[in-house]
Amino acid sequence: MSIAWYLAVSAIVFSLGAVGVITRRNPLVVLLCLELMLNGGNLALIAFSRMWGNGDGQILAIVVMTVAACEVCIGLGMIVALYRRKLPIDVDELRELQG
């Protein structure tokens, strides 16, 4: 398959993730959709890496995975903190950021 097919799949996955981030209200699902967007980016990076026969894109994809793991760690920690404080788990209800 030519590289263009992979890039098309990555663009579609990225946009689907963007739909989820914009429309969903549960912060857990918003985090999942952020993962989708990062995965779309990863697929494009690896497709370009294959296109040039150069490993830099793969290294960048690994770094993106690291950043995604950190984001999941912090995001899930925030969701657990919200749940402990009996705050609503809903991004529309959360309007204030106070300690």
Asked if 10 interacts with other proteins (CB under 8 A), we say yes
Cβ 69 to other proteins, closest distance in Å? 6
Long-range contacts of 12-19 (CB under 8 A, 24+ apart): 12/40, 13/37, 13/39, 13/40, 13/43, 14/40, 14/41, 14/44, 15/40
Scan residues 26-65 and list those touching other proteins (CB under 8 A). 26, 28-29, 31-33, 35-36, 39, 42-44, 46-47, 49-56, 58-59, 61-63, 65
Asked if 18 interacts with other proteins (CB under 8 A), we say yes
Which is nearer to other proteins, 86 or 96 (by Cβ)? 86
Residues 6+ apart with CB under 8 A from 15: 40
Number of residues that bind other proteins (CB under 8 A): 71
The rounded Cα 99 to chain-centroid distance in angstroms is 26
Cβ 38 to other proteins, closest distance in Å? 10
Asked if 76 interacts with other proteins (CB under 8 A), we say yes
